[in-house]
Structure 1
Amino acid sequence: MKDLHSFGWYAARIAPHMPKKAFKPVPGRLFGGLAYLLICIAGLLTIGLFHLHPLFYLLIAIVLGTSFAAMGFLGHEILHGTVVRKAWLRDLLGAIAFWPLTTGPKLWRKWHNLTHHVHTQDHEKDPDSWPTLEKLSKSKFLRWVYRLPISVRAFSSFASLTVTFTLHSAKMFVTYIKEFKPRKQPEVWLQFILPWVSWIGLLIWIGPLKWFFAFLLPLLIANFIVMLYISTNHRLNPLVPVNDPLANSLTVTVPKWVDVLHFNFSYHTEHHLFPGMSSKYYPLVKFHIKRMWPERYHEMSISRAVVALWKTPRVYYHQNELIDPREGHVYGSLGNGLEPKDIQFRKIEADKLISEKSK
């Protein structure tokens, strides 16, 4: 692994080359959010008030699902303070944007901003990191999962993307609620409960069939879109002792129109260098990274990243490799031998693997 540097080390070298306006909030991003909000309201009212053929409901559900996901991407930007700076307004707008994904702004900032960003790819402190071989050996459930063939695991993993964000968000609530000061906990509870109250209220109003198209199916679609990005953010990268975004993060490329619709969410390395900067300026950050450290920077098309995720396991071996414990196949990670165009593995002996698990 190359010498590692903190995100601040890189940011300090890029910042002088950025325009001053790049470090200011960009409230104009809210116009995109307003458009998505109006689309969601129109879709929900259409399903709720009109009796249409299920095919039309399906089409509306797809539009709602893509809009839910896009609102989540904007909510992510809002809650980093890159759209508005006033705390109460930031949290209000963030709550609205994350409402379909049922994640409260205070929980998100605690889980994502203050923990994931500070401890990215630290296997003990990052709540979003994947397990090591040592952790696998201590979990009966994980040991059972990794007895399955890698193809079955890959299929199950990709199918589970339809629910992963929602379930992980609930897990993060359970994990972090006690870390909030007692006087703040009721507010965090309220932010967790209110979205579900509104969606259950919608169920009572329009009935199960329409609710499926108005909320449940769109939520599954939104989960899948959001998690397709999140799955590529770090899962091919190594665990690292230093929070180095050029080592622990991956930027994926998508068509330009997708970047417009998704608020440049694909620029993930850039986001970890400047989380307090609007993603509007991430293409310029990318230009400077590639100019200064082209050999360190990781990017690939989202389709290639997804294929690489399918073909590789999600258990870390010696921090910078990935291992399939069932077969004893060891794969490199990005920057440590993984070539997405030609994924190879090396075989280790079963007795060596058993010995390392027992340490």
Structure 2
Amino acid sequence: MKEFHSFGWYAARISPHLPKKAFQPVPSRLFGGLAYFLIALSGILAISLLDLHPIWKTLISVVLGFSFAALGFLGHEILHGTVVRTPWLRDFLGAVAFWPLCTGPKLWRKWHNVTHHAHTQDEEKDPDAWPAVEKLAKSRLLRWVYNIPFTIRAFFAFSSLAITFTLHSTRMLFYFLKDFQPRNRSIVFFQFLLPWATWIGLLFVVGFANWFFIFLLPLLIANFIVMSYISTNHRLNPLVPVNDPLANSLSVTVPKWVDVLHFNFSYHTEHHLFPSMSSKYYPLVKEHIKKMWPDRYHEMPMIQALRALWKTPRLYYQQTELIEPRQGNVYGSLGYGLDPSHIEYRKMENKKQVLTKKVAGQLKK
């Protein structure tokens, strides 16, 4: 793909084919959130008050983890203004939905809505984009990471999905805090600390054994579920000079019942075309994209996308390829030669053509 278009260009061509109600908020999504809230509350009370066998606590903990993740998906939708439009109510409901993931609404809207959506897959401006190979020369940490053998690194990368959202959210707090006006910084910090204070406070009420099943294990499960989606959203796509959702985003496919439980979070390209539209209408958007630009649209089963992530590195080379600098293996990205069903790479003829002498010398051969 060599010709890029902005998300507005695509949206302008699809919008006339969509019903007017698709552009209105859908408050009924809150019924799903209420169901998850009641399930989570029931699980917390059951573990806290009943003398349950650890097996039952583990099963309840898994349900809590799924509920925490689903509430995060709903919180994402709420804070885009697709459920309610009143700002204070939007932020309040978004804060409640994101409470288990300990992310505040002001930070999320600055990090995700304002910055990530405006600069998707821009190496310098997108806070969620992975770096290009040139960053190796500037980062001792990156050089250390890429000295680890590829298979070992892939294993730990996937294992770390259980903590990545929490860690990245904390990093984004300090990354963006300076960008808020002084009077809002205390609010952003308070919105971040308050959920943590309630969960840590619960630790002293119920004890560590119960708290592990009530919060810690569910948080790890929720992180893994959320990051399984987020890691497939853009990490197989190229870095791009124009914010083109059909070039820089991937929609994954999951069973229909999973889409219902996860508020259609799998429709990610559609979300980047219409971020202020309820995900309820994303299947309709997908139909029109596939009619108009079938050769540009990227979708695949989530399992296949995760498998492709496992088999490819996360360091960009010349914007459109992925590179394993330690061995000089170069992989394509979506739209640029990557076949998820048959991952292949080419050997770089001379690694020094890409890596500085300093970096090449510090990376083991």
Matched residues in 2 for 1:153 and 1:275: separation?
33
- 1:1-359 matched pairs, under 5 angstroms: 1-348=1-348, 349-355=350-356
Alpha carbons 2:131, 2:316 under 8 Å: kept:
yes
Aligned partner letter, 2:181 = K
Matched residues in 2 for 1:274 and 1:283: separation?
12
Aligned partner letter, 1:270 = E
Matched residues in 2 for 1:77 and 1:354: separation?
42
Offset of residue 351 of structure 1: 2.9
Matched residues in 2 for 1:342 and 1:357: separation?
34
Matched residues in 1 for 2:292 and 2:357: separation?
39
The Cα offsets for residues 127-169 of structure 1, whole Å up to 9 and x where unpaired, read as 0000110112211111011011111111000000000000000
SS at match of 2:51: coil
Alpha carbons 2:65, 2:219 under 8 Å: kept:
yes
TM-score (norm 2): 0.97
Matched residues in 2 for 1:55 and 1:81: separation?
40
Alpha carbons 2:143, 2:359 under 8 Å: kept:
no
Q: Give the fraction of aligned pairs with identical amino acids, expressed as a percent.
A: 70
Offset of residue 355 of structure 1: 4.2
SS at match of 1:183: helix
Give the number of equivalent residue pairs: 359
The Cα offsets for residues 100-138 of structure 1, whole Å up to 9 and x where unpaired, read as 000000000000000000000000000000011011221
Alpha carbons 1:246, 1:297 under 8 Å: kept:
yes
Matched residues in 2 for 1:54 and 1:358: separation?
50
Matched residues in 1 for 2:262 and 2:68: separation?
11
The Cα offsets for residues 211-253 of structure 1, whole Å up to 9 and x where unpaired, read as 0000000000000000000000000000000000000000000
Matched residues in 1 for 2:197 and 2:169: separation?
16
Instruction: Give the RMSD, CA atoms, in angstroms.
Output: 1.1
Offset of residue 182 of structure 1: 1.1
TM-score (norm 1): 0.99
Aligned partner letter, 1:350 = K
Alpha carbons 2:23, 2:277 under 8 Å: kept:
yes
Offset of residue 358 of structure 1: 7.0
Alpha carbons 1:133, 1:357 under 8 Å: kept:
no
Offset of residue 354 of structure 1: 2.9
Aligned partner letter, 2:60 = I
Structure 1 residues 356 and 304 mapped into 2: Cα distance closer, same or farther (>3 Å)?
A: farther
Partner of 2:363: none
Matched residues in 2 for 1:329 and 1:246: separation?
26
Matched residues in 2 for 1:85 and 1:27: separation?
10
SS at match of 1:27: coil
The Cα offsets for residues 159-182 of structure 1, whole Å up to 9 and x where unpaired, read as 000000000000000011111111
Offset of residue 51 of structure 1: 1.4
Matched residues in 2 for 1:186 and 1:345: separation?
48
Range with greater deviation from structure 2 (45-54 or 255-264): 45-54
Matched residues in 1 for 2:52 and 2:43: separation?
12
